[in-house]
Amino acid sequence: MKGIKGRGDRIFLAVCYTVLALLAAVIIFPVLNLIAVSVSAQTPVVSGRVRFWPVGFQTDAYRYVMQSRQFFNSLLVSLFVTFAGSFLAVACSVLVAYPLSKKNIPGRKTLLLVFIFTMMFSGGIIPSYLLIMKMKMINSVWSLILPQLVNVYNLLIVKNYMETLPEALEESAKMDGAGQLRILWSIVLPMAKPVLATVFMFFVVSYWNSYFDAKMYITKRELMPIQQYLQAVIFEAQSPAGDYGLASEATNLASQSIINATVVCAMTPMLLLYPALQKFFAKGTTVGAVKG
């Protein structure tokens, strides 16, 4: 501790605490308001009386969202893309990170450059779109998985971590005649678990939150992932049940309540993961400071 001396320090600290508390309030209040509106009755919502606590409590908005087939479809698509994508992506990261973590492998520099170059320059949106079209992957979930499969940033994190692992075990396994695949699987991967978990989380967040690929490649409603569905509900006044037009004259709910309930449902998975995420991400920033 840096100690507190005199009145000046005390005032200074009081200012620090106050500013931070205010900032936390600015961040948390919009979320509280979102939730409060989602469980409040129509009249208080429309007349703007709902602050951070529900007024005229109801849960019909959630029932309404839960009854929507479209919502569950989107949830399933997103879950599939997120988990299939993250597993494959981690596998890809490992398959490159391990060879490139060998300092003496010929061509290492060139191969690294081939990967890093794609971080610096890309062909742009349209050529990627034309490619997916040409490959007949429009309206296929694979168009949401494959283009993001190789992530150079994550790959470098895994590579850097593997470089710090002791080589003695690998060497002795090699003496015993184990192949590289075997060494990778039974010696390197178990040691690399922390970094693999971290990178897996990175991929989960990025697949779950990704929006633009679906906006380009998915036009069929039953294949929309959750973010795209949500965008339609929030910004295009599509009713959560899946029909266009205003939400619900029949349900006695403010349409804002239904929209908010949909948003809350879509952010719940991230909120549930958040404790684990915070741990992993904090570690991730220390585990592999990226450097080629």
Partner 1 sequence: MEKKKRMTWGQMKREGYLELYLMMVPVLIVLFIFKYIPMNGILIAFEDFNIFDGIFGSRFVGFENFARMFADHDFLRALGNTFTINLYKMCYYIPLPIILALLMNEVGKRFGSCIQTVVYLPHFLSWVIVGGIFVNMLSVNGGLVNEMIKSLGGSPIRFLYDSKYFIHVLAFSAMWKEVGWGSIVYLGAIGAIDQEIYEAARVDGASRLQQMFRITVPNLTPTIVLMTLMSLSNILGNSFEQVLIMYNPAVYDVGDVINTYVYRIGVNNMQYGYASAVGLFNGLVGFLFLTVSNALCRKFLDRSIW
In the range 53-72, which residues lie near partner 1 by CB under 8 A? none
Candidates 70, 73, 74, 260; binder of partner 1 (CB under 8 A) is 260
Residue 111, interface with partner 1 (CB under 8 A)? yes
Q: How is residue 186 annotated by DSSP?
A: I
What is the footprint of partner 1 within residues 189-208 (CB under 8 A)?
205, 208
Residue 278, interface with partner 1 (CB under 8 A)? yes
CB 187 within 8 Å of CB 128:
no
Tokens representing 213 are: 């690929």
Candidates 58, 165, 174, 197; binder of partner 1 (CB under 8 A) is 174
What is the footprint of partner 1 within residues 237-256 (CB under 8 A)?
254, 256
Q: Toward partner 1, which CB reaches closer, 194 or 292? A: 292
Candidates 59, 67, 118, 172; binder of partner 1 (CB under 8 A) is 118
Q: How far is 91 from 179, CA to CA, in rounded Å?
A: 18
Q: How far is 195 from 82, CA to CA, in rounded Å?
A: 19
* Segment interacting with partner 1, rule: CB under 8 A, options 9-17, 65-73, 159-167, 239-247: 9-17
Residue 267, interface with partner 1 (CB under 8 A)? yes
Q: Toward partner 1, which CB reaches closer, 195 or 233? A: 233
**SS3 label, residue 264:** helix
Q: How far is 59 from 82, CA to CA, in rounded Å?
A: 29
Q: Toward partner 1, which CB reaches closer, 72 or 274? A: 274
Size of the residue set binding partner 1 (CB under 8 A): 105
CB 140 within 8 Å of CB 77:
no
CB of 222 to partner 1, least distance (A): 19
Long-range contacts from 186-194, C-beta under 8 angstroms, 24+ separation: 188/98, 188/162, 189/94, 191/165, 192/94, 192/158, 192/161, 192/162, 192/165, 194/161, 194/283, 194/287
* Segment interacting with partner 1, rule: CB under 8 A, options 11-19, 61-69, 79-87, 189-197: 11-19
Residue 3, interface with partner 1 (CB under 8 A)? yes
Candidates 75, 79, 150, 169; binder of partner 1 (CB under 8 A) is 150
* Segment interacting with partner 1, rule: CB under 8 A, options 3-11, 63-71, 161-169, 244-252: 3-11
Candidates 161, 188, 263, 288; binder of partner 1 (CB under 8 A) is 263
CB of 90 to partner 1, least distance (A): 12
* Segment interacting with partner 1, rule: CB under 8 A, options 49-57, 65-73, 158-166, 242-250: 49-57
Long-range contacts from 36-41, C-beta under 8 angstroms, 24+ separation: 37/254, 37/256, 37/257, 37/260, 38/62, 38/257, 38/260, 38/261, 38/263, 38/264, 39/257, 39/261, 40/254, 40/257
Residue 283, interface with partner 1 (CB under 8 A)? no
Q: What are phi and psi of 83, to 5 degrees?
A: -80, -45
> In terms of Cα–Cα distance, which of 74, 39, 76 is closest to 59?
39
Residue 75, interface with partner 1 (CB under 8 A)? no
